[in-house]
Structure 1
Amino acid sequence: MKKLALACALALGLQAPSLAQWKPAGDRIKTEWGEKLDPANVLPEYPRPMMERKEWKNLNGLWDYAIRPCGEAEPKTYDGEILVPFAVESSLSGVGVHLEDSQELWYTRQFEVPAGWKGKRVLLHFGAVDWRAHVWVNNTSVGKHEGGYTPFCFDITDALQKGSNKLTVRVWDPTNNGPQPVGKQANRPQGIWYTAVSGIWQTVWLEPVNENHIASMKITPDIDLNRLRIEARTGEGEWKKGCRLEAEVYDNGKLVASGAAIRGEAIDITIPGEVKLWSPDTPFLYTLKVRLKQNSTETDAVDSYAAMRKFSSKRDANGVMRMQLNNRDLFQFGPLDQGWWPDGLYTAPTDEALIYDIQKTKDFGFNMIRKHVKVEPARWYAHCDRIGIIVWQDMPNGDKMHEWNQRDYFTGADLTRTPQSEAIYFKEWKEIMDYLYSYPCIGVWVPFNEGWGQFKTEETANLTKQYDGTRLVNAASGGNHYTCGDMLDIHSYPGPEPFLYDARRANVIGEYGGIGYVVKGHVWEADRNWGYIRFNTSKEVTDEYVKYAQELKKLALKGFTGAVYTQTSDVEIEVNGLMTYDRKVIKVDEKRIREINLEICNSLK
């Protein structure tokens, strides 16, 4: 075993003593995946399942790190080692320290480019870095990026040298002292605000491509026309003479349709026969193979997938506006999923852990997840596609949230942001929509939550709908209400007791529940826990949950068409999860919860 560990370490360019010295920081509770984490094999799965190539190199693992005052040059000596891609504040980073807004976080490591990549362009990918990143290769600046939730990459070919190469990253993240989206992060965690997340928090990786390659794809299904549209952008930005894009659609390995286009035109492929529709009950995915050719020579090939599905809203026979999936009424019901981990914070310890929350949501009988003021790695959405879960995707809130939260939320008025803050919001919201556009599971965009940073609501809702007309828009979940978007969303705690109704739009209860229950030995803090209401046993929690669910079932028949229960798991001192924060205890009677949830999800069928 020791020889195997040493071999793994050397293959990653690490020293065996470093691996032996790494250990999680702090003494907080941990998940079973975090307890078993191998620092020599951190999140090894391919990070971009929507556009997969065969060759790539994972750069996750132990890097050197340093924290220095803003504006200083690269440190001559570093402070120690950090396990990438876990944020510096997290336990699994091995560091566990808070980054002040007057400080910058530095990373560095050595890497080699595989010999077989000779003659290729080499792309350096970051899944996500919070918030402002500046990247150097061999002391040559290769690019800068702002935005904490979306992937980015740089072509580093011209900065490479033979043999070992030095990669350096500098990060600045003011958390809630800045104008950028931060979600639930806080410099001083308390209540519903959690530990900050700074720096690299998703996979870092290398990829070889030809100069003429596919840079991104946009996949749009149309079940009314039995058509699948595929659009692509090349790495050069403009399509070269003689370029041709080809796509093939497979059903369980059998070729069922194909198409091609030139000069950057979209490929419209008609699916013959009886189209297999995607839904939570039948999450069927077609396999795609997409190739780029230049003068008949293949210059790129990627594997992908697509689903034939449609999200819309329509009045039912009684004149009630309902959300629909594939032109049929569907009550969308799921938990508020914050995506936090006691050991990794924003980053799940393993892919197995990432899957666990989604699969457990499905096991509970839900058909939807509201991803709350956070954006996940690409693999999370791919797992939702495969397992069959609809996703309501929030935009992470921001703009010095603690300063305006109590001042503006209860006034019913939109916040006035600075021009800088507005520009950052719209830039990052568009990037998030671009990033997630092709994932079939995304059914609803949620630009604002509870008035947190809510501004120019009607303009933002209209922009969102114009940017992506294939999804529904929930303009402000529980926030300041305007007659825009596709639904009215109210929050009601603890029970689902609506106080508003809009006959012109779909009506949903975007948050309710929050039933608290402390499971000793599985809490973030021993004596500072809270829920909207508190009980002392699993049976009491389950009984209260079922009571609320019965009320929700009545509301579904009266005219409501979706609901979100708070929440999937405990998070820090919030103890209102269906599971404990470490995911080691299911806090409810799963059989009873599943039965009533299925009744609600099927109530409009």
Structure 2
Amino acid sequence: MIEQAHLKLLSALVAMLLIPLSVNAQNYKPAGDKIKTKWAEQIDVNSVLPEYPRPILQREQWKNLNGLWDYSIQGVGEPKPSKADGKILVPFAVESSLSGVQKRVGKHNELWYETTFEVPEQWNGKQVLLHFGAVDWKTEIWINDIKVGSHTGGYTPFSFNITPFLNDSTETLVVKVWDPTSEGPQPRGKQVKDPEGIWYTPVTGIWQTVWLEPVNEKHIQDLRTTPDIDNQLVRVDPLIENTTYGDIIEVTVKDGDKVLSVSKASAIETLEIPITNQKLWSPESPFLYQMTVKLISNGATVDQVESYFAMRKISKKRDEKGIIRMQLNNEDYFQFGPLDQGWWPDGLYTAPTDEALKYDIVKTKELGFNMIRKHVKVEPARWYTHCDKLGILVWQDMPNGDDAPIWQNKKYFDGNELKRSAESEEIFRKEWKAIMDYLYSYPSIVVWVPFNEAWGQFKTIEITEWTAKYDPSRLINSASGGNHFQTGDILDLHNYPDPEMYLYDANRVNVLGEYGGIGLPLEGHLWKTDNNWGYVKFKNSKQTTDQYIAYAKELIELVKSGFSAAIYTQTTDVEGEVNGFMTYDRKVDKMDIEKVRSINKKVIGTIEK
């Protein structure tokens, strides 16, 4: 009888614990009636994007704060409301369907969030870091009614040590966000107040994972890895929080489970680690070395992280015909891929699941491409790790911001520039540096693109020279698509719909940075029921595939004439644009995959290695 009573009591307690979870699940549903991906159906409000958010610098312990939070929208400058407007599913932007809200905010309002959390008991004695993957745009944070910090920038991670402000019980987190979208000078990519054509819905607020992490006062803040295949070594630059003289970094390099080397140095020094019999990384063979990094202070290990790196080199060289070609690992290598904007009909900037995030990269590989141009957007860290593991080269754009001067693409000596305000310049420089710092150690990234089609383009030569000096290990594509200046490594032409070489620079790499845009609207898979847009439009898959192949055959001849890379628009449909290889909901491949793959391989093979 006593055992039965205990069982009944235990069952009642379990039921009580489950009530909040079931209530949360019942209260949530995606908002609106727009098309959605299959992954939207897999959303679990109690386990949203549960994967470790930063796999290139991974610790064992962490806590995910994603889930249903309170939200409210208030006028700028008004105090936090006493009552919430409702629930929002973090980390989906408030304008998205998956947020459960799908409301606009605008520059005259601020978005407030509130949630509670508990710090695990086993973290006692640790410093607790509060991490935000990305929040668009200006963020202010309170812990237990104490303002602990602020941040500007919509595309890079940031964190705060919140240890001094914790209550050792249930903690309250409040976040306030202001985002002027297209009414401000900040980087925003394709977001506009009134979306139409090639311009898309605003993305306001938290759009990447929010999480907690315990560390010691002395801990590894970042690792900057630089491969040098010519000298068969990798350089590891640690960034240590609260280091003191005498602290030591120990790096163990592994091939799978096999230990290749163990190296030690002062925590303020660069380690140069020999990599003998090096396995080179490429799209065809994306080998990654595993790395365990320890921080040792007074003989004790005070921090340990798991990381990885790759041995690969991106460079340029004039070939026997006098054409400057891009090289990968000291061999001529044609880079060919799609323009990838990273938008989702249900999550906008945020993929519904990690499987979805990876899916577009997998499809890109299936199509026979070896490269992606990440267009005027920056992705979560896991996206770049997927690229590293799957083997895909990445051109990383700076998201557009501010205004555009008159764009021209066919005059080589008449580049136009915007005169930005001092505030606008400062915003650009700060966020471009932050993006480069955030992404520096990902081997998949081979080209930086600070400006696209003149949008926000200013002081081109100065920005290019700074970018090249800050990261000499990659190529710089100064002005993709026009408003050309004779600076950087690349002359980048845009031409729609067919490929064309209307300019040529004998002293730089020549690329076709955008072309194609073949449209095929498919009923039942459209964001908009009418007024859909493509550079040219066809009625069925065969016509679309045939036109793609025709353009690819033209491209082959231009590769022989001097192009070293090409980028086709685009991976998926996006809102009103219907020129993707896939529909916006990723449910239909709009071209014959095998035929596209076959011709893509021929394009890439035009340059012999």
Classify the TM-score, shorter chain.
over 0.9
Give the distance between the partners of 1:348 and 1:440, measured in 2 at CA: 23
Aligned with 2:321 (options 311, 318, 321): 318
Structure 2 equivalent of residue 241 of structure 1:
245
User: Following TM superposition, by how much is the alpha carbon of 1:255 offset from its aligned partner in structure 2, in angstroms?
Assistant: 0.6
Contact between 1:448 and 1:479, CA under 8 Å: does it hold in 2?
no
Residue type of the alignment partner of 2:555: L
Shift in alpha-carbon separation, 1:302–1:335, aligned structure 2, 3 A: same
Tell me the CA shift for residue 479 of structure 1: 2.1
What does the per-residue CA deviation read over 1:485-513, in whole Å, with 9 as the maximum and x for residues that have no partner? 00100000000012100000000000000
Instruction: Write the letter of the residue equivalent to 2:161.
Output: D
Deviation string, structure 1 residues 445-491 (Cα, Å, up to 9, x no partner) = 00000011111111111111011000000001102001100010000
Task: Provide structure 2 residue ranges, at least 5 long, that are not aligned to the other structure.
Answer: 1-9
Distance 2:453 2:165 in 1: 46
Cα 1:153–1:370 change in 2 (3 A) is: same
Structure 1 counterpart of 2:563, one-letter code? F
1:260 equivalenced with 2:268 (yes/no): no
Residue correspondence of structure 1 range 43-442 to structure 2 within 5 A: 43-236=49-242, 239-272=243-276, 274-399=277-402, 401=403, 404=404, 407=406, 412-442=415-445
In the alignment, structure 1 residue 40 sits paired with structure 2 residue 46: yes
State the secondary structure of the residue aligned to 1:551: helix
Q: What is aligned with 1:500? A: 503
Alignment match of 2:558 (pick from 552, 555, 558)? 555
Which 5+ residue runs of structure 1 have no aligned equivalent? none
* Matching residue's letter, 1:572: E
CA distance in 1, matches of 2:470, 2:346: 36
Q: Which residue identity is paired with 2:424?
A: S
Are the equivalent residues in 2 in contact too, given 1:9–1:40 (CA < 8 A)? Answer: no
What corresponds to 2:480 in structure 1? 477
Q: CA RMSD in A?
A: 1.6
- 1:51/1:302 contact within 8 Å kept: yes
Q: Which amino acid aligns with 1:261?
A: A
Alpha-carbon shift at residue 408 of structure 1 (Å): 5.3
**8 Å contact kept, 1:66–1:78:** yes
Whether the 8 Å contact between 1:10 and 1:16 is mirrored in structure 2 is no
Q: Cα gap change, 1:8/1:161 in structure 2, threshold over 3 Å: closer, same or farther?
A: farther
Q: Measure, in 2, the Cα distance between the counterparts of 1:296 and 1:142.
A: 33
Note if contact 1:90-1:343 (Cα within 8 Å) is conserved in structure 2: yes
CA shift, 1:602, in A, is 2.2
Deviation at 1:557, TM superposition (A): 1.3
- TM normalised by structure 1 equals 0.96
- Pick closer, same or farther for the CA change 1:279–1:9 going to 2, 3 Å: farther
Structure-2-length-normalised TM-score: 0.96
Structure 1 residues 435-584: aligned runs within 5 Å = 435-584=438-587
Residue equivalent to 2:600: 597
User: C-alpha separation between the residues in 1 aligned to 2:24 and 2:50?
Assistant: 19
CA contact (8 A) 1:103 1:172 kept: yes
Compared CA separation, residues 8 and 312, structure 1 to 2 (3 A): farther
1:27 Cα offset (Å): 0.1
Q: Aligned residues, how many?
A: 594
CA distance in 1, matches of 2:370, 2:14: 44
**What's the CA shift for 1:322?**
0.3
Give the drift of 1:9.
Answer: 11
Query: Does structure 1 conserve the Cα–Cα contact (< 8 Å) formed by 2:267 and 2:295?
Result: no
The secondary structure found in structure 2 opposite 1:186 is coil
State the alpha-carbon separation in 1 of the partners of residues 442 and 117 from structure 2.
32
CA distance in 2, matches of 1:41, 1:299: 30
CA 1:408–1:490: 2 relative to 1, 3 Å: closer
* Alignment CA distance shift 1:47-1:8 (3 Å): farther
Q: Deviations over 1:168-227 (max 9, x none)?
A: 000000001011000000110011100000000000000000001001110110000110
SS of the residue 1:360 aligns to: helix
